[in-house]
């Protein structure tokens, strides 16, 4: 990591900025953020939670850090601290101070291609070798990075960031304050074919993708356009790298989709659903609000709201864990049953 940012702030001032509770000397000057292990003199470090306090307190004693962000209820620390109910909130505010987002120093880069029929807000940035096609609208403060692509008639919301190599294909809509990571694809064709005379005939995919506000989408994610309708990603949903989302999928608000998940066509995720890593869903299923599917689970049918499920086929997580534990006893069980059979045969004969 290169901390070549030269901002400095006193712990006291940072307490004001972050709404943290100051414990100890507020006059120490802070020049950056780092882990307790890596911190240089003058840097702020971070204690997330109550696990393993003893080890952390030991680590802190040998750290060069000048101050620490810590939970409200953490014990006394050897360094001045800012206390938070949720210390990650404090960390975020501190990082936002030390690592302010840099805006490009151009509006439309001379090596960008922007159609004369596109509409780019003067406060937006379009990077080198980016393409903005006819009919596209780029909102205020949006940043279309180098080599990104915005297709015909797309709309990109205010303050939204498209990293290098992102493709937003024709007619798709991305809301405000979204972040789409490098090489993600929004609006590829859904996988729709019908058999006709021994061949797979393509069903034209004429829907689009609608991404609402405050959505984050990981690198190399692919989201297919709907066949006739829109594939929708709801407000505040966060999607990790390499997730595949098929046509017609409807994802609710504030969902969390971890890396390498695959969501089949016409799946509905209600609000606040979490899919852990490498989960798959069968098509045309509905996952109820607030449900969590544990890693590698396969959603094979509708799931009631508030469930915690896993496995393939999907079961209550507690049941799946019991089965997993039981499996280790299976080879032995087979032997036991064979012995019982022999014993009973003996009894029968006796």
Ranges within 98-137 binding a copy of itself (CB under 8 A): 98-99, 111, 113, 127-129, 131, 133
Angstrom distance (rounded) from CA 151 to CA 98: 35
Among 17, 22, 57, 229, binds a copy of itself (CB under 8 A): 229
Tell whether residue 40 is a contact of a copy of itself (CB under 8 A).
no
Residue 282: other Cβ atoms inside 10 A = 15
Query: Is the C-alpha dihedral spanning 141, 95, 168, 143 positive or negative?
Result: positive
247 assigned to active site: yes
DSSP string, 190-204: P--EEEETTEEEE--
Enter the DSSP assignment of 39: P
Minimum distance from residue 26 beta carbon to a copy of itself (Å): 23
Query: Is the C-alpha dihedral spanning 57, 58, 62, 63 positive or negative?
Result: negative
Q: Please give the structure tokens belonging to residue 273.
A: 């659903």
Among 81, 176, 222, 292, binds a copy of itself (CB under 8 A): 222
Query: Is the C-alpha dihedral spanning 77, 82, 83, 84 positive or negative?
Result: negative
In angstroms, what CA-CA distances link 287 with 58, 244, 282, 284, 336? Answer: 45, 17, 11, 10, 41
Nearer to a copy of itself, 25 or 99 (CB): 99
- Window 259 to 318, contacts with a copy of itself (CB under 8 A): 259-260, 262, 264, 277-278, 280, 282, 295-296, 298, 312-313, 315
- Window 52 to 81, contacts with a copy of itself (CB under 8 A): none
Tell whether residue 323 is a contact of a copy of itself (CB under 8 A).
yes
Among 20, 80, 139, 236, binds a copy of itself (CB under 8 A): 236
Among 11, 30, 70, 185, binds a copy of itself (CB under 8 A): 185
Best CA proximity match to 65, nearest among 108, 113, 11: 11
Nearer to a copy of itself, 45 or 81 (CB): 45
Stretch that binds a copy of itself, among 22-30, 59-67, 68-76, 87-95 (CB under 8 A): 87-95
Among the listed residues 163, 181, 244, 247, the single catalytic one is 247
The residues carrying an active-site annotation are 247
């Amino acid at each position: 990591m290169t901390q070549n940012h030269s901002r400095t702030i006193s712990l006291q001032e940072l307490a004001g900025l972050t709404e943290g509770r100051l414990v100890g000397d507020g006059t120490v000057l802070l020049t950056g953020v780092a882990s307790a292990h890596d911190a240089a003199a003058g840097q702020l470090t971070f204690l997330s939670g109550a696990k393993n306090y003893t080890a952390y307190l030991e680590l802190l004693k040998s750290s060069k850090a000048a101050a620490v962000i810590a939970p409200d209820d953490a014990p006394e620390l050897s360094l001045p601290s800012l206390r938070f109910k949720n210390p990650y909130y404090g960390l975020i505010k501190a990082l936002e101070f030390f690592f302010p987002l840099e805006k490009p120093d151009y509006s439309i880069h001379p090596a960008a291609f922007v159609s004369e029929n596109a509409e780019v807000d003067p406060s937006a940035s379009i990077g080198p070798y980016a393409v903005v096609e006819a009919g596209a609208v780029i909102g205020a403060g949006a940043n279309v990075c180098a080599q990104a692509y915005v297709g015909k008639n797309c709309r990109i919301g205010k303050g939204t960031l498209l990293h290098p190599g992102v493709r937003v294909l024709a007619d798709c809509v991305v809301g405000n304050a979204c972040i789409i990571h490098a090489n993600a694809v929004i609006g590829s064709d859904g996988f729709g074919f019908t058999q006709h005379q021994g061949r797979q005939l393509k069903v034209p995919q004429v829907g689009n993708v609608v991404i609402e506000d405050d959505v984050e989408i990981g690198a190399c994610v692919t989201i297919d356009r709907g066949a006739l309708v829109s594939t929708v990603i709801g407000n505040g949903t966060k999607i990790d790298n390499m997730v595949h989302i098929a046509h017609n999928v409807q994802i609710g608000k504030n969902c969390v989709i971890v890396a390498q998940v695959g969501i089949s066509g016409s799946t509905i995720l209600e609000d606040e659903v979490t899919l852990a890593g490498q989960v798959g869903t069968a098509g045309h299923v509905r996952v109820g609000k607030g449900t969590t599917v544990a890693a590698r689970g396969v959603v094979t049918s509708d799931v009631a709201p508030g469930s915690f499920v896993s496995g393939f086929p999907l079961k209550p997580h507690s049941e799946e864990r019991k089965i997993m534990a039981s499996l280790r006893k299976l080879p032995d069980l087979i032997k036991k049953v064979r012995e019982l059979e022999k014993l009973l045969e003996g009894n029968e004969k006796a």
